[in-house]
């Protein structure tokens, strides 16, 4: 999914990013609006259309992914007609703020290519969000021909499922993502959901947690990545419900 991952922030109170190192120096400070910093720390890749992105190689469940490079699908493009379907922060809560709609990365998990890289999107849109207190969310909408949309969900259930993966960074700063299935209510035509715990080889960084939901409605696939220092699955579920409901604002006819 150039959008699958997944991978989704903003006007807020700075959140402290960690304790202190063994030398007594304070850990880096992360502002609640600094999506790029948070994404980098969490190991979420931000490739461009002309760059190769470092991603984990496919790994079967109960194994650990390693890093390898994949070419991005050069055929996808942002579809401005889908912007109306992006979650409005006021639909979530008054503490949430919209960060932007520039696609800055893909939602690639468990060593698999993102959906928008594995398939040929007709169009896609991206939105990022943040909340006071250290919560962030990212949303991808990918429009495919309907048979591909159904295949994309099967791909998410089969390829984007693992126990853990290691995102290799500079020495001593690897990021560890540990996954487990997330049970949420049915949304749209079908869903696939995961919970993730994000920890760091470098102990100055505060562990994070997150939830990932893939949902399909007709020819649209939506990915919601909700993460932070404390994340409630009920809120992730609400975001996914809103994301699917807002597709009615752009649906005209099935492809």
Is 139 inside any structural domain?
yes
18 lies in a domain? no
**Are 216 and 150 contacting, i.e. CB atoms less than 8 angstroms apart?**
yes
Instruction: Report the percent of the chain where pLDDT is more than 90.
Output: 41
Residue 5 counted as domain residue: no
Residue 138 lies in a domain: yes
From the CB of residue 146, how many other CB atoms can be counted at a distance below 10 Å?
Answer: 15
* Structural domain span for residue 182: 26-249
Question: pLDDT confidence of 44, banded at 50, 70, 90?
Answer: confident
Q: Does some domain include residue 9? A: no
Residue 255 included in any domain: no
pLDDT in tens, 208-236: 999 999 999 999 999 999 999 999 999 99
What's the pLDDT band for 66 if we cut at 50, 70, 90?
A: very low
Q: What is the mean pLDDT of residues 188-193?
A: 95
Q: Residue 132: which CATH number?
A: 3.40.1000.70
Higher-scoring residue by pLDDT: 33, 192: 192
44 touches 35 (CB < 8 A): no
Q: Is 154 part of any domain?
A: yes
- Say if residue 52's pLDDT is above 70: no
Greater confidence (211 vs 125) lies with 211
Please report whether residue 16 resides in a domain: no
pTM for this structure?
A: 0.74
Most confident of 35-44, 50-59, 111-120, 205-214: 205-214
Average the pLDDT over each of 41-55, 63-77, 232-246 and give the range with the smallest value: 63-77
Residue 58 CB neighbour total at 10 angstroms:
15
**pLDDT at site 65:** 37
**Domain count within the chain:** 1
Q: Half-sphere exposure of 115 toward its Cβ, with a 13 Å CA cutoff?
A: 36
């Amino acid at each position: 999914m150039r959008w699958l991952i997944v991978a989704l922030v903003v006007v807020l109170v700075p959140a402290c990013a960690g304790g202190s190192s063994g030398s007594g120096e304070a850990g880096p400070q992360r502002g609640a609006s600094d999506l790029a910093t948070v994404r980098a720390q969490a190991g979420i890749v931000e490739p461009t259309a002309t760059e190769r992105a470092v991603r984990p190689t496919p790994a079967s469940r109960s194994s650990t992914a390693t890093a390898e490079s994949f070419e991005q699908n050069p055929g996808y493009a942002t579809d401005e007609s889908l912007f109306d379907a992006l979650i409005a922060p006021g639909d979530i809560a008054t503490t949430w703020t919209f960060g932007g709609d520039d696609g800055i990365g893909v939602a690639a998990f468990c060593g698999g290519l993102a959906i928008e890289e594995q398939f040929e999107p007709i169009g896609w849109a991206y939105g990022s969000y943040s909340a006071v207190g250290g919560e962030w969310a990212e949303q991808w909408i990918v429009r495919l021909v309907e048979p591909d949309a159904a295949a994309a969900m099967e791909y998410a259930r089969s390829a984007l499922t693992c126990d853990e993966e290691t995102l290799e960074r500079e020495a001593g700063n690897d990021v560890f993502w540990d996954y487990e299935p997330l049970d949420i209510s049915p949304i749209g035509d079908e869903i696939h959901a995961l919970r993730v715990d994000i920890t760091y080889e470098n102990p100055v960084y505060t562990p994070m947690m997150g939830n990932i939901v893939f949902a399909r409605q007709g020819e649209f696939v939506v990915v919601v990545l909700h993460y932070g220092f404390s994340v409630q699955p009920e809120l992730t579920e609400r975001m996914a419900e809103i994301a699917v409901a807002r597709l009615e604002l752009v649906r005209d006819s099935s492809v």
